[in-house]
């Protein structure tokens, strides 16, 4: 008796995972989403399993037989967590997923890392660049990459695909681009320190396509960056929102010292229980460039179908309000 072809997506309830599961439909007989949160949106025919990857994963969690695995499970919002939370979830999660993969005889595993392993930089970084993470999140992702590579090295027929996404935007994102859209819509966005900060970014639909494309070409271990090849600045990203949604273009540049000073009261409020997203670390993150280039993806022949304007238009058509 042939067992059904199966895919298991750890962390599949999140933004990227929900889009991935939607794309996998039709390629597998069974798809399992393993997560501890409700999915951003559900895909018919998917089995939703509640499990925390910081705990050992039973080999029969998703039934008998092997499966292709996609490991997206992580604590990732930065800032937003204590340092230990990134290490605890991202490293123990990687260990448990790899142990589970070994137990069920998985031969193909895709892991989502992050461009945070390079650290912020004005200089362009590609896959050959030195890895210099400066945050607990970036360090935990780099360690998790090593755990996955150890899993692959145990049996040469195993295939491991590691993708390092930049800022990803699209339907149900709820992150950087969604916050930016909201500020632009209300006319409240100001540039923190400068307009020419480089922000590598990419559309979620193309991220999913790249993962499946690079996995299909991989015969061992493949690590690649995902983002648009263009060096988009914060000013160009705002101009793209203007073109698609008609939001007014911001012009005011606020000095960094003033931005950081203004963030302090919000940090105090957050510390006493009035949680909010405004703090000095986030302001610095907006100021620092993330200048990454997807060299291996382009060398492999991957073709981007959207530029930033058409991607924003596609997202707007799906949600009507960039949410």
- Give the start-to-end residue ranges of the domains of the chain: 6-169+200-229+292-305
Q: What is the pTM of this model?
A: 0.92
Tens-place pLDDT, residues 279-319:
777 777 777 889 999 999 999 999 999 999 999 999 999 98
Q: Which two tokens stand for residue 62?
A: 């998703």
Specify whether the CB–CB gap between 293 and 228 falls below 8 A: no
| The pairing of beta strand 108-112 with beta strand 121-125 | unpaired
| Paired residues of 223 in beta bridges | 162
Q: What is the CATH number of domain 6-169+200-229+292-305?
A: 3.40.50.720
- The pLDDT > 70 percentage for the chain reads 96
At 312, is the secondary structure helix, strand, or coil?
Answer: helix
Q: How far apart are CA 25 and CA 318, in angstroms?
A: 19
């597998």: which residue's tokens? Answer: 28
pLDDT mean over 164-193: 93
For 233-254, give the DSSP string: BHHHHHHHHHHHH-PPPP--EE
Specify the 3-state DSSP secondary structure of 224: strand
225-262 residue pLDDT tens: 999 999 999 999 999 999 999 999 999 998 887 877 77
**pLDDT band (50, 70, 90) for residue 84:** confident
């Amino acid at each position: 008796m042939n067992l059904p072809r199966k895919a298991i997506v750890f962390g599949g309830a999140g933004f990227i995972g929900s889009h991935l599961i939607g794309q996998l439909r039709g390629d597998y007989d069974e798809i399992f989403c393993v997560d501890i949160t409700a999915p951003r949106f559900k895909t018919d025919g998917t089995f939703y399993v509640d499990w925390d990857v910081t705990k050992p994963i039973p080999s029969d969690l998703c039934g008998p037989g092997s499966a292709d695995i996609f490991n997206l499970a992580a604590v990732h919002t930065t800032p937003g967590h204590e340092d230990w939370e990134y290490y605890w979830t991202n490293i123990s999660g990687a260990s448990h997923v790899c142990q589970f993969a070994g137990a069920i005889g998985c031969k193909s595993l895709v892991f989502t890392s992050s461009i945070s392993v390079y650290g912020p930089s004005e200089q362009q970084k590609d896959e050959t660049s030195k890895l210099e993470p400066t945050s607990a999140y970036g360090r935990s992702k780099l360690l998790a990459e090593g755990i996955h590579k150890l899993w692959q090295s145990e049996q040469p027929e195993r295939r491991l695909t590691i993708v390092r996404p930049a800022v990803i935007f699209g339907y149900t994102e709820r992150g950087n681009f969604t916050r930016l859209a909201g500020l632009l819509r209300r006319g409240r966005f100001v540039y923190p320190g400068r307009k020419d900060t480089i922000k590598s970014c990419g559309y979620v639909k193309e991220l999913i396509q790249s993962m499946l494309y690079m996995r299909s070409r991989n015969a061992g271990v493949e690590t690649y960056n995902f983002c648009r090849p263009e060096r988009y600045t914060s000013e160009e990203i705002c101009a793209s929102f203007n073109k698609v949604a008609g939001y007014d273009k911001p012009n005011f540049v606020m000095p960094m010292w003033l931005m950081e000073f203004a963030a302090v009261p919000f940090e105090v409020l957050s510390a006493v229980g009035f949680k909010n997203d405004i703090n000095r670390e986030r302001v610095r993150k907006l100021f620092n460039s993330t200048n990454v280039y997807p060299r291996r993806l382009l060398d492999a022949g991957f073709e981007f179908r959207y530029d930033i304007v058409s991607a924003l238009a596609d997202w707007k058509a799906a949600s009507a309000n960039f949410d």
